[in-house]
Structure 1
Amino acid sequence: MHPADPTEPGLGRVTRRSVLAGGIGAALIGGLAACSGEEPTKVEPRKLETRAADDELPSETSPQTIASGPPLVTGSFVSAKMGGRQTRWAVARPSGVSGRLPVVVVLHALNTNEKSIFSSKLEMQNVLQKYVDAGNAPFALAAADAARNYYHPRVDGTDAAAMILDEFLPMLASNPQLDLSTERIGLFGWSMGGYGALRLAALLGAPRVAAVAVCSPALWADPRNYPPRAFDSLEDYQANSLFGQQAAFAKIPLLISIGSSDQFFTYTRQWAAGLHPPAAFGTSAGGHTNRYWRSVLPEQVEFLGRNLAR
């Protein structure tokens, strides 16, 4: 794969060091089914159960080492949207800051959890602290454990997107210890969570969503090529795929970062080409790895903070 041509129609300039601030947004949509009234072409999905897990990180089975920096506030709630299970959450506020803060909701990747973004592998809270210490407007980070749900309704009755919207956000707003405002939020996600952040942005729309920043979003353009872990059936894919939904992002600022050797690069570039106006699209050498995601976090935090402060 090769980095996208900066002059290609539908994409912003593609150097990570000169990211454009594209404006994107959405009116509230009741679902993500295709807007066309035409009958969909019958497609038989391929059998992919034996295919390598191309969007997965190794399962995190041991306690994570949380990097030093702003302390985490953690807790849990019983989530009806997640089948009645205890759902853990974590919040980081920058140190040295008081008062009510806006929040960026973090949606995690497959086989990770609510603490992964704060672990020594990524340290998003330390990137945020440096951003605030440089004199920029502060905000908080908040994540909830979505398990392997993929942020849409599944046949097992769980729906992590509904958990975020109907349970987690109200909890954040009503918890006096956290002192957070959710009237206007940012969204951040990587891999599975990148897809999830885009889907939630489309559901909420502007002005509720101030900005979205995603890394390596798990997107499949080919309806024969999605894995069962992401969608339960062809009908599920057709109802929840983001392809064909780019018009929902016309007024929400959006930054997409993806390594040029990432397995989702082609699909992500194809999806971004349908955005009008174009998103900020940043790429450089790198793959579907923590190393790449950590390298772009400063730009992601700056993009989210700048748009939240408007």
Structure 2
Amino acid sequence: MTRVPPPTSDTDARSRPDDNGRSRVGRRAVLAAGLGAAALGVAACSNSTPPTSVQPRKLEGRADDELPVEASPPPVTGGPPLITGSFRSARMGGRDTRWAVARPNGVTGTLPVVVVLHALNTNEKSIFGPKLEMQTVMQQYVDAGNAPFALAAADIGRNYYHRRTDGTDGGAMVLDEFLPMLASDPKLNLSTERIGLFGWSMGGYGALRLAAMLGAPRVAAVAVSSPAMWADPRNFPPRAFDGIADYQANSLFGAQPKFAKIPLLINIGSSDQFYTYTRQWAAGLRPPAAFGTAAGGHTNRYWRSVLPEQVEFLGRNLAV
């Protein structure tokens, strides 16, 4: 508990009589005067110095969004089986792009889908691996009698879900190639007329960016964990943006009005390195988003702990 100092009287703050009845200037008054003079000096300097444009700091990669590299897709052992495949993606420079879909067991017919956007150094199967097992959480939700939906993810590497200088664009791949593929493949039997979006870390940023692009009612709901966002245009790593102009074109700061009609749930641990930026961004949302926080960091342990809440949020809004 924070200790609150006792209130200080005006006499203590400004002056006190000495033993001879003369006014004696208090120490706090001297400090206040000094601070006031310093402030005036700064103001005078700022008035005489012309404003300068924002300059980037040295864009050194920080470990904010770095996770252990998953060199190959992790094994999937729990929940419903995965349907997997790949396609040649023009939006990703012509490379083969892997994808994975999980449909709940015991359900037939056409299902709505939540598109999962993965974190940095992970891939299309990471959300289904033993550390997160979102498909198991989804199956438990459906088994409890709730409306079913499917999960679908595609591998974008380290692209950060927007167009980069190498010509690749993970966001465009999801919108222009992956979603049409999901809707057209008869063995998947999915509807993409209204979708949910989910992502964590880099994928949390990606889910928010794509939601802002698609808007409501196409996006039924968005749930994100620890979205990788930088409010300071001088303080982002080059893996996220290719420079100041790229940051300004693709930053989510200023895009909050686009979420006015999209149900949004944000979860982030109180010790997560993106906590301050995320709270700052969320403060600009009208109406406010659902915001969940608890002890935890930028870790699978925290992300797994909030998945039941996020799955319920996505499923409930997809069923409307």
Q: Distance in 2 between matches of 1:63 and 1:111?
A: 11
The one-letter code of the counterpart of 1:65 is P
Number of the residue aligned with 2:253: 243
The one-letter code of the counterpart of 1:152 is H
Q: Distance in 2 between matches of 1:116 and 1:83?
A: 23
| Residue 264 in structure 1 maps to residue 271 in structure 2 | no
Q: Distance in 1 between matches of 2:303 and 2:52?
A: 36
Number of the residue aligned with 1:54: 64
Q: Distance in 1 between matches of 2:186 and 2:160?
A: 30
Following TM superposition, by how much is the alpha carbon of 1:78 offset from its aligned partner in structure 2, in angstroms?
A: 0.3
Contact 2:221–2:263, Cα closer than 8 Å, also in 1? yes
Per the normalisation by structure 2, the TM-score is 0.83
Number of the residue aligned with 1:224: 234
Following TM superposition, by how much is the alpha carbon of 1:47 offset from its aligned partner in structure 2, in angstroms?
A: 1.1
Extract unaligned runs of 5+ from structure 1.
1-39
Structure 2 CA distance for partners of 1:239 and 1:41, relative to 1, 3 Å: farther
SS of residue paired to 2:177: helix
Task: Report Cα offsets for 1:41-63 as digits up to 9, x if no partner.
Answer: 721111132x5321110101244
| Residue 284 in structure 1 maps to residue 279 in structure 2 | no
Extract unaligned runs of 5+ from structure 2.
1-50
Following TM superposition, by how much is the alpha carbon of 1:299 offset from its aligned partner in structure 2, in angstroms?
A: 0.2
The one-letter code of the counterpart of 2:276 is T
The one-letter code of the counterpart of 1:175 is D
Number of the residue aligned with 1:127: 137
SS of residue paired to 1:113: coil
| Count of matched residue pairs | 270
Match of 1:147 among 140, 147, 157: 157
Following TM superposition, by how much is the alpha carbon of 1:66 offset from its aligned partner in structure 2, in angstroms?
A: 1.0
Number of the residue aligned with 1:191: 201
**Structure having greater relative contact order (Cα 8 Å, sep ≥ 6):** 1
SS of residue paired to 1:98: coil
Q: Distance in 2 between matches of 1:97 and 1:248?
A: 34
Match of 1:178 among 184, 188, 193: 188
The percent identity for this pair of structures is 82
| Residue 45 in structure 1 maps to residue 45 in structure 2 | no
Structure 2 CA distance for partners of 1:64 and 1:93, relative to 1, 3 Å: same
| Residue 300 in structure 1 maps to residue 314 in structure 2 | no
Match of 1:137 among 147, 168, 171: 147
The one-letter code of the counterpart of 1:218 is A
SS of residue paired to 2:197: strand
SS of residue paired to 1:243: coil
| Residue 309 in structure 1 maps to residue 316 in structure 2 | no
**After TM superposition, which residue ranges in structure 1, 4 or more long, deviate above 6 angstroms?**
none
Contact 2:73–2:126, Cα closer than 8 Å, also in 1? no
Number of the residue aligned with 1:114: 124
Following TM superposition, by how much is the alpha carbon of 1:67 offset from its aligned partner in structure 2, in angstroms?
A: 2.7
Task: Report Cα offsets for 1:101-138 as digits up to 9, x if no partner.
Answer: 00000000000000000000000000000000000000
SS of residue paired to 1:76: strand
SS of residue paired to 2:198: strand
The one-letter code of the counterpart of 1:105 is V
Q: Distance in 2 between matches of 1:102 and 1:183?
A: 8
Following TM superposition, by how much is the alpha carbon of 1:309 offset from its aligned partner in structure 2, in angstroms?
A: 0.2
The structure with the greater share of residues assigned to helix is: 2
Contact 2:122–2:157, Cα closer than 8 Å, also in 1? yes
Q: Distance in 2 between matches of 1:150 and 1:203?
A: 15
Q: Distance in 2 between matches of 1:61 and 1:206?
A: 36
Per the normalisation by structure 1, the TM-score is 0.86
Contact 2:73–2:124, Cα closer than 8 Å, also in 1? no
The one-letter code of the counterpart of 2:84 is T
